[in-house]
């Protein structure tokens, strides 16, 4: 094996890691479809976020696979990026890119935070809600949008 093959091998190993033990999608309602989806989860005054290698933050989420419901894409991507097995419950927002963000619930078997693919995500963490507006977000206006969504949920 030559040195030019190593990055491709590392990506293949990283992609395979986490797939073997990934829990099945727990969503059983009417499926929705979108190009990408993610989870919005706040517990004890903290928001679940992933931090990219750039230092930018985002709720966990990503691209849906062909034929995969948006709810199951949100579940799968969140598990891959955070190690948490969360339940997508209700749509929180749909963005102009088609990205669907679901309120996702923790449950007793949700697991512990860990990153299966360190090539994509630096770390997953719980961000105090008072730090959301002040943080550096992956997309412009994302922090403010999340605050608005969370406030609407409280009403």
Mean pLDDT throughout 77-86?
96
Half-sphere exposure of 98 (CA within 13 A, CB side): 9
- For residue 124, pLDDT beyond 80: yes
Distance (Å, whole) CA 78 – CA 80:
5
Mean pLDDT throughout 74-97?
96
- Which of 11-15, 32-36, 76-80 is the least confident region? 11-15
- Total residues belonging to the chain: 155
Q: Are 39 and 60 in contact (CB under 8 A)?
A: yes
Q: In the prediction, which pLDDT does 120 show? A: 85
Mean pLDDT throughout 45-68?
96
User: What's the start-to-end Cα distance of the chain, in Å?
Assistant: 59
Bridge-partner residues for 94, per DSSP? 100
Q: In the prediction, which pLDDT does 6 show? A: 40
């Amino acid at each position: 094996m030559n040195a030019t093959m190593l990055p491709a091998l590392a990506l293949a190993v990283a992609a395979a890691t986490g797939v073997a033990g990934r829990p099945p999608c727990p969503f059983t309602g009417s499926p929705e479809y979108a190009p990408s989806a993610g989870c919005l989860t706040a517990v004890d005054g903290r928001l679940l976020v992933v931090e990219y290698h750039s230092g930018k933050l985002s709720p966990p989420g990503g691209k849906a696979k062909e034929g995969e419901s948006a709810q199951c894409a949100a579940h799968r991507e969140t598990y891959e990026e955070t190690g948490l097995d969360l339940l997508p419950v209700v749509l929180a927002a749909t963005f102009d890119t088609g990205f669907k963000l679901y309120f996702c619930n923790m449950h007793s078997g949700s697991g512990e935070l860990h990153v299966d693919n360190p090539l994509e995500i630096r770390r997953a963490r719980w961000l105090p809600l008072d730090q959301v507006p002040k943080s550096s977000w992956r997309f412009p206006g994302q922090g403010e949008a999340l605050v608005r969504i969370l406030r609407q949920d409280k009403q």
